[in-house]
Amino acid sequence: MRIAVCRPQVPFARGGAEIFTDDLVAELRERGHEADLVTVPFKWYPGERVLTQAFLWRLLDLEEAEGRRIDVVVATKFPSYCIRHPRKVVWLLHQFRQAYELDRTALGQFGESAQDRALRRAVQRLDGVALGEARKVFATSANVAERLERSTGIAAEVMPHPPQELAYRCEEYGDFVLSVGRLDRAKRIDLFIQAAVGRQLEAVIVGEGPDRERLESLANGRVRFVGRVSGSELADLYARCRAVYYAPVDEDFGMVPFEAFLAEKPVVTTTDAGGPLDVVRDRETGRVVEPTVEAISAALAIGEDEARTWGRAGKAIAERVTWDRAIDRLLAG
């Protein structure tokens, strides 16, 4: 098959969506498909740009290329799923959350003017049309599926995707706790820093982002920031840490728990973390606690025996998520 994988792209940014779609294209090619990635630069602010960006996707013609038919398009997140195609499949990472549960919060997009309220309603109507056109809709987590059904009435099948390919292994349950992810406020790394410093635990933070300066000021030299690291360096950190902290606000999916599990490490998260709660279970594969510094501080004090037991239980879950299973479901029918 000729398959176009569709993804919006924020220039110079790279995160989970970029890793996922690059991996999906590579995995499709390995299975004999002619697959390619289609991207359009995405800028969602000021508010009126949101619909403009969505209509760019709406106007694209991906039914054929160079006179040859494109058999399937796989769209991933807003606004890429606005693409038109007779065989459109959506593997939903997330909708434009600022038009839904993030509205009227600190992470929201739209103000209280009549124009902003109308823009928000227009995004919601467009979602209903564009997602309703899909032959099939998959969601990366139960959290994403529940949001979709609540907002549009469209039911999606839950289908997580494997994490990025690294040399996953467990060498030891060392004396530090690891955080991996983009440094922005929604990831709540500030709670991790305060909890680790208060307990005098060694903490290592992987990632870059707009919140780094504030976080470094908060840590005051007592936490190690390593920025972006290579795949081999990240695998080494996973292999040697005691546990992994990952507690964003109402996360869509999050690959970090699966990465941690493949290194046989437990995950510390919170009761409102969203997607990670599909696989992180309290005192089974890690700790699930209230999103407070005190609760997280107590949860980070994981003994080596507990870490080993919970990490191995997590690995059994992560090993069941494979590209073979996912792609078979994606292209069926």
**Residue 323 forms part of a structural domain:** no
**Residue 276 forms part of a structural domain:** yes
* Residue 254: predicted pLDDT: 87
- Based on the fold, state whether residues 152 and 6 are members of the same structural domain: yes
User: Rounded to whole angstroms, how far apart are CA atoms 270 and 274?
Assistant: 9
Q: For the chain, what is the domain count?
A: 2
**Residue 167 forms part of a structural domain:** no
- Based on the fold, state whether residues 28 and 113 are members of the same structural domain: yes
Tally of CB atoms within 10 A around 221: 8
| Longest Cα separation, the chain | 63
- Based on the fold, state whether residues 118 and 186 are members of the same structural domain: no
Tally of CB atoms within 10 A around 314: 27
* Residue 89: predicted pLDDT: 98
Q: What is the DSSP string of 104-143?
A: TSTT----SSHHHHHHHHHHHHHHHHHHHT-SEEEESSHH
Q: At which of 128, 159, 190 does a domain end?
A: 159
Low-confidence ranges of the chain (pLDDT < 70): 333
Nearest of 301, 246, 252, 304 to residue 275 by alpha carbon: 252
CATH of the domain at 108: 3.40.50.2000
- Based on the fold, state whether residues 13 and 143 are members of the same structural domain: yes
Contacts of 251 (CB under 8 A, 6+ apart): 143, 273, 274, 275, 276
- Based on the fold, state whether residues 153 and 219 are members of the same structural domain: no
**Residue 331 forms part of a structural domain:** no
Question: Which residues form the domain of 99?
Answer: 2-159
Three-state DSSP at 76 gives strand
**Residue 189 forms part of a structural domain:** yes
User: Rounded to whole angstroms, how far apart are CA atoms 154 and 136?
Assistant: 10
Q: At which of 159, 184, 205 does a domain end?
A: 159
Q: At which of 131, 159, 187 does a domain end?
A: 159
**Residue 19 forms part of a structural domain:** yes
Write out the two tokens for 274.
């969203």
- Based on the fold, state whether residues 87 and 193 are members of the same structural domain: no
End-to-end CA distance of the chain: 13
- Based on the fold, state whether residues 83 and 217 are members of the same structural domain: no
* Residue 158: predicted pLDDT: 96
* Residue 23: predicted pLDDT: 95
* Residue 333: predicted pLDDT: 62
User: The pTM is what?
Assistant: 0.87
Amino acid letter at 184? D
**Residue 164 forms part of a structural domain:** no
Element (H, E) at 91: strand 88-94
- Based on the fold, state whether residues 202 and 91 are members of the same structural domain: no
**Residue 165 forms part of a structural domain:** no
